[in-house]
A = this chain, B = another copy of it.
Amino acid sequence: MRGTVIHAPGDVRLETLPDPEIVTATDAIVRIVATCVCGSDLWPYRGANEIAGPQPIGHEYVGVVEEVGSDVTGVRPGQFVIGSFVASDNTCPHCRFGYQTSCQHREFVNGCQSEYVRIPLADGTLVATPGEPDKSLIPSLLALSDVMGTGWFAAVAAEVQPGGTVVVVGDGAVGLSGVLAAKELGAERIIAMSRHETRQELARTFGATDIVAERGKEGVARVLELTGGVGADSVLECVGTQDAMVQAQRSARPGGNVGFVGVPHGVDIPGDKLFYSHVGLRGGLAPVRRFLPDLIDRVFTGSMDPGKVFDLALPLDQVADGYRAMDTRRAIKTLLQP
């Protein structure tokens, strides 16, 4: 099969790889219908993460079950499925508590920017859609695999309530998905922090009521101004830097919540600042599996269209262009079709 391999920073190639095979009786092989490039794929691409030799890449996927291991009973060949970027058994105590990305048997899915992929723990991981989806729904369903699921978790972790006031820090695909999640969860006011016109536009399409272009102290001051000096009920931190985290915490009202899904890079939280702020914090790798049934339903009923984050669609053999477009911020997010 053809599959994407990252060799070095800036060097991704579509190559011929062995077809994946069932390794464990709980595996499934999925024929990829659509995959995409994640913001986190850009870390090794930009040299921020070490690359220990050539390796397959990609962890977002929708597709059709091709084959299942002998223990798999929940999905069958021919079904259209979506799964999280973390495979989980969905039965351990952490899964049952709704934190499938902390599953006691979790495995990270990888190698999705390919024609086929092996998904471990298929019964726990894969969710079949209600029938074959219309082609127009593919981008939105693909978005659920990570980016929209992650934005959704940010909103849930920040305890977004109907009628609430929300700030979203970060205007990448996850932040924009967070805006959409806040809207779907009934937030009345959604303040998107963004200084890029195309992203501001998409934020508005997704439900942002206000755009704040200022950052840091000025950004916080603007949020306080917009909220009558009170601060936001919920803040979604979708970047992962120290500046973004500080900005998020200062934008929340006392008793408000910050949901943080940007993987922290050098983030340090002084205990006394957090104490005196009265702000609640929860973050982590989004337990996308928890949300999939609900989110699939929202896409199928047309309630939301998270696929709009894909502003570039390319055939899989142009995967290198897809990375370049995101690296240079020419694209928000690249969809790839084998």
Residues of A within 8 A of B (CB): 93-94, 97-99, 101-102, 157, 228, 230, 242, 245, 253-255, 260, 263-272, 274-285, 287
A281 in contact with B280 (CB, 8 Å): yes
A93 in contact with B264 (CB, 8 Å): no
**Closest B residue to A258 using CB positions:** B281
**Closest B residue to A98 using CB positions:** B255
B274 in contact with A99 (CB, 8 Å): no
- Contact partner of A264 (CB less than 8 A), chosen from B230, B263, B275, B281, is B275
Instruction: Contacts A102-B254, A255-B287 known; list 13 others, CB within 8 Å.
Output: A99-B278, A102-B278, A260-B271, A263-B272, A264-B270, A264-B271, A264-B272, A267-B271, A268-B270, A274-B283, A278-B287, A279-B282, A281-B282
A269 with B274, Cβ < 8 A, contacts A93-B228, A94-B254, A253-B93 known: yes
B284 in contact with A276 (CB, 8 Å): yes
Distance in Å: Cβ of A43 to nearest Cβ of chain B: 14
Q: Contacts of A102 on B, CB cut-off 8 Å?
A: 254-255, 278
Q: Contacts of A245 on B, CB cut-off 8 Å?
A: 271
What are 20 sample pairs from A and B whose C-beta atoms fall under 8 A apart?
Answer: A93-B228, A94-B253, A94-B255, A99-B278, A102-B254, A102-B255, A255-B287, A264-B271, A264-B274, A264-B275, A268-B270, A269-B269, A269-B270, A269-B271, A274-B281, A275-B283, A276-B284, A279-B282, A280-B282, A281-B281
Residue of A242, A275, A284 with highest tally of chain B CB at under 10 A: A275
Question: In the assembly, what is the distance between CA of A242 and CA of B271, in Å?
Answer: 9
Copies of this protein, total: 2
- Contact partner of A267 (CB less than 8 A), chosen from B255, B260, B272, is B272
- Contact partner of A285 (CB less than 8 A), chosen from B263, B265, B276, is B276
Q: Specify the main secondary structure of chain A where it touches its partner.
A: mixed
B284 in contact with A260 (CB, 8 Å): no
Question: In the assembly, what is the distance between CA of A276 and CA of B94, in Å?
Answer: 13
Q: Contacts of A280 on B, CB cut-off 8 Å?
A: 157, 280-282
- Contact partner of A93 (CB less than 8 A), chosen from B230, B276, B278, is B230
Question: In the assembly, what is the distance between CA of A228 and CA of B97, in Å?
Answer: 14
Residue of A99, A272, A278 with highest tally of chain B CB at under 10 A: A278
Question: In the assembly, what is the distance between CA of A284 and CA of B252, in Å?
Answer: 14
A271 with B268, Cβ < 8 A, contacts A253-B93, A255-B102, A280-B282 known: yes
- Contact partner of A97 (CB less than 8 A), chosen from B94, B255, B263, is B255
Q: Contacts of A99 on B, CB cut-off 8 Å?
A: 254-255, 278
Distance in Å: Cβ of A268 to nearest Cβ of chain B: 6
Distance in Å: Cβ of A244 to nearest Cβ of chain B: 10
Question: In the assembly, what is the distance between CA of A230 and CA of B242, in Å?
Answer: 30
- Contact partner of A284 (CB less than 8 A), chosen from B242, B270, B278, is B278
B275 in contact with A263 (CB, 8 Å): yes
Question: In the assembly, what is the distance between CA of A280 and CA of B277, in Å?
Answer: 15
**Closest B residue to A281 using CB positions:** B281
**Closest B residue to A267 using CB positions:** B271
